């Protein structure tokens, strides 16, 4: 109230706007905070604190490339201040400029060797460069300086999980809710600690994206093998698929806001990713087969409707990711697949999440290529239908997205194109072409960041061999 009154009296005071924006940011009013920070730096471009805070808000909105100029200006105005230098390095890393980020973070640490957050960010720059052991050492040093730094603990968990050190990785990954500022669920029942619950039910819920829900779903049958009764809260689009795949579990649709009160027989709760610390502590604990079950009759109908010629193989394809933070780094364009789509002996069907009309129309007009598409199947909302279409395929080729997880969960032969930089999620491993999560998946790694051409050429060569041409 006082800031608002002061702003009404003097809306041209850059520092007042900056301070007011910090309050708005703390209240989660990100758009208002951003607008006020922009006004603050417009009024006084030499306000280094406002420039830094503008970058912080852009970073929080996953607009990392936009944050970089603001941080650069803040560093120019405060050359000896390690904070904006660290923030610049962090934004560079999150934008995929790992070497540049490493250099800036090194500068920040030269000014302040005890800066724990900078050590953690330095570790993530090393992670981006594939130097995992050095990354782990840097993040561990950050935690020696500040053991409670949740972001460093989450970062350590990610790097350890990518390296295959599951036992420790899961424990550190447990700090993700605090690191990501996720709102806690105020359940009255306690957190599950791996114990037998007798006749009581275990509530399993998700706090991540649809792809992650599918990834972790393979642990539900481990719980059932232990004799646990499961109440499984899932994205509404996954309910029918999960019910068929785990018929003994009670699967319910997640609501917004989530349900917090359950019957007395629900005696414990846990987010689904947290099951890993009890069920996936070693590679030998991972499943060796598929765990999702689709509507086989529907899959057969879909394949028949596509009117394949005798001997033709059906390849499902998906070319981009809708991830708000990393999607650009994980995505290709449909027209960049033109060489692949002309391979004889293969027919390609659209599995891309969302509406693809514009891209398919452009492909037809400019390349003369028809990509098969199942009219009437909503590739965003009907994920059970997508699973049936995936099951109709002989092979799936996709970037790292929901399609990859559906295909892997169904056990369909799948090639997943994984970026070398930002967006290389830990579950695709490091420098291997396999992942313990999905035995049917082959990982095809990008060679140069943001350049998919060599990767698509390798995929084209493999597809020609697959087609027998």
Contacting residues for 462 by C-beta, under 8 A, at least 6 apart: 415
Fold annotation for 2-179: 1.25.40
Report the C-alpha dihedral over residues 410, 413, 418, 424, rounded to 10 degrees. Answer: 30
Answer whether 161's CB lies under 8 Å from 429's CB: no
Which burial class, exposed, middle or buried, applies to 190 when counting CB atoms under 10 A from its CB (0-12, 13-18, 19+)? Answer: exposed
Distance from the first to the final alpha carbon of the chain? 72
Residue-by-residue pLDDT tens, the chain, 469 positions:
566 776 666 778 888 888 888 888 988 899 999 998 999 999 999 999 999 999 999 999 999 999 999 999 999 999 999 999 999 999 999 999 999 999 999 999 999 999 999 999 999 999 999 999 999 999 999 999 999 999 999 999 999 999 999 999 999 999 999 999 888 899 999 999 999 999 999 999 998 999 999 999 999 999 999 999 999 999 999 999 999 999 999 999 999 999 999 999 999 999 999 999 999 999 999 978 999 999 999 999 999 999 999 999 999 999 998 777 676 888 999 999 999 999 999 999 999 998 999 999 999 999 999 999 999 999 999 999 999 999 999 999 999 999 999 999 999 999 999 999 888 999 999 999 999 999 999 999 999 888 999 999 999 999 999 998 6
Answer whether 233's CB lies under 8 Å from 258's CB: yes
Say yes or no: do domains 201-285 and 296-467 share a fold: yes
Answer whether 162's CB lies under 8 Å from 133's CB: no
Q: Which helix (H) or strand (E) holds 266?
A: strand 266-271
Domain ranges of the chain: 2-179, 201-285, 296-467
Cβ count near 241 (within 10 Å) = 27
In this predicted structure, what is the pLDDT of residue 423?
87
Taking alpha carbons only, the member of 299, 308, 312 closest to residue 351 is 299
What class is the 296-467 domain?
A: alpha beta
DSSP conformational letter for 238 = G
d(CA 403, CA 353): 8
Query: What is the three-class DSSP state of 229?
Result: strand
Query: What is the three-class DSSP state of 396?
Result: strand
Query: What is the three-class DSSP state of 115?
Result: coil
Fold annotation for 201-285: Rossmann fold (3.40.50)
What totals of helices (H) and strands (E) does the chain contain, helices first? Answer: 23, 9
């Amino acid at each position: 109230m006082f800031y608002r009154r002061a702003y009404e009296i003097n809306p041209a005071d850059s520092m007042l706007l900056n301070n007011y924006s910090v309050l708005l940011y703390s209240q989660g009013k990100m758009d208002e905070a951003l607008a006020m920070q922009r006004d603050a730096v417009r009024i006084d471009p030499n306000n280094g604190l406002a420039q830094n805070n503008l970058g912080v808000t852009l970073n929080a909105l996953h607009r990392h490339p936009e944050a970089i100029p603001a941080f650069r200006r803040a560093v120019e105005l405060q050359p000896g201040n390690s904070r904006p230098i660290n923030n610049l390095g962090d934004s560079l890393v999150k934008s995929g400029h790992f070497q540049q980020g490493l250099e800036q973070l090194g500068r920040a640490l030269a000014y302040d060797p005890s800066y724990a957050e900078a050590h953690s960010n330095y570790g993530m720059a090393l992670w981006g460069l594939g130097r995992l052991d050095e990354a782990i050492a840097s993040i561990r040093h950050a935690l020696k300086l500040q053991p409670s730094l949740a972001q460093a603990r989450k970062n350590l968990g990610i790097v350890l999980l990518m390296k295959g050190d599951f036992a420790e990785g899961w424990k550190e990954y447990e700090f993700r809710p605090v690191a990501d500022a996720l709102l806690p669920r105020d359940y009255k029942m306690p957190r599950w600690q791996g114990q037998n619950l007798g006749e009581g039910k275990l509530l399993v819920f998700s706090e991540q994206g649809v792809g992650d829900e599918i990834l972790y779903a393979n642990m539900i049958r481990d719980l059932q093998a232990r004799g646990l009764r499961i109440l499984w809260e899932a994205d509404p689009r996954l309910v029918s698929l999960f019910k068929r795949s785990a018929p003994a579990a009670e699967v319910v649709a997640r609501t917004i806001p989530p349900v917090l009160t359950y019957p007395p027989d629900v005696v414990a709760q846990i987010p689904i990713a947290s099951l890993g610390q009890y069920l996936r502590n070693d590679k030998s604990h991972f499943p060796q087969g598929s765990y999702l079950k689709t509507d086989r009759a529907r899959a057969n109908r879909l394949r028949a409707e596509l009117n394949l010629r005798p001997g033709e193989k059906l390849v499902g394809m998906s070319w981009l990711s809708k991830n708000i933070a990393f999607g650009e780094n994980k995505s290709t364009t449909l027209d960049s697949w033109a060489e692949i789509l002309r391979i004889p002996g293969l027919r390609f069907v659209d599995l891309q999440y969302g509406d693809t009309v514009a891209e398919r129309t452009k492909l037809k007009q400019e390349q003369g290529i028809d990509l098969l598409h199942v009219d009437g199947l909503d590739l965003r909302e009907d994920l059970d239908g997508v699973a049936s279409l995936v099951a109709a395929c002989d092979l799936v080729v996709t970037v790292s997205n929901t399609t990859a997880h559906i295909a892997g969960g169904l056990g369909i032969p799948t090639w997943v194109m994984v970026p070398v930089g930002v967006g290389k999620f830990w579950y695709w491993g490091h420098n291997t072409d396999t992942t313990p999560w999905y035995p049917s998946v082959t990982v095809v790694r990008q060679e140069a960041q943001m350049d998919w051409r060599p990767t698509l050429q390798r995929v084209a060569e493999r597809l020609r061999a697959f087609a027998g041409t």
